[in-house]
């Protein structure tokens, strides 16, 4: 399964490469055919921001309400890791690639 470059249209990005292209403020990964750098677009930025905000709320809630180490792990660390993984999965399969704006 390959994804198309937004510049040349060739399917050159694997899901892992697409997930690690970076966001709009990143320089991105170059296409193997045309060399134009690509990043994940605005929907990726919005989705990651929402997930991280939810994780931050869970961490603050856990800090003030839970006392044992296992509760802190399950309600603080796990939501943060889940938000990161959900962001990567969104970038892998749902988000679109766009040409990078930032130059090296």
Q: Which residue has the tokens 């889940």?
A: 82
**pLDDT tens readout for residues 34-92:** 888 999 999 999 999 999 999 999 988 888 888 888 888 888 889 999 999 999 999 99
Strands (E), 1-104: 3-4, 11-13, 29-30, 37-40, 97-99
- What DSSP letter does each residue of 12-32 carry, written as one string? EE-HHHHHTS--TTS--EE-T
Which tokens sit at 53? Answer: 């905000």
What's the whole-number mean pLDDT along residues 17-45?
A: 90
What's the whole-number mean pLDDT along residues 15-22?
A: 91
User: For position 103, what pLDDT does the model report?
Assistant: 67
User: For position 68, what pLDDT does the model report?
Assistant: 85
> Is the pTM higher than 0.95?
no
Which tokens sit at 46? Answer: 């919005």
What's the whole-number mean pLDDT along residues 20-45?
A: 89
> Could you count the other beta carbons within 10 Å of the beta carbon of residue 40?
27
Interhelix angle 78-93/42-65, nearest 10 degrees: 170
């Amino acid at each position: 399964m390959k994804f198309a470059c937004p510049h040349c249209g060739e399917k050159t990005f694997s899901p892992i490469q697409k997930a690690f292209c970076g966001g709009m403020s990143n320089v991105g990964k170059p296409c193997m055919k045309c060399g134009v750098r690509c990043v994940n677009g605005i929907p990726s930025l919005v989705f990651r921001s929402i997930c991280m905000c939810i994780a931050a709320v869970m961490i603050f809630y856990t800090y003030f309400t839970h006392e044992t180490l296992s509760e802190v792990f399950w309600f603080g660390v796990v939501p943060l890791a889940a938000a990161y993984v959900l962001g990567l999965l969104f970038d892998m399969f749902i988000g679109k690639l766009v040409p990078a704006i930032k130059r090296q």
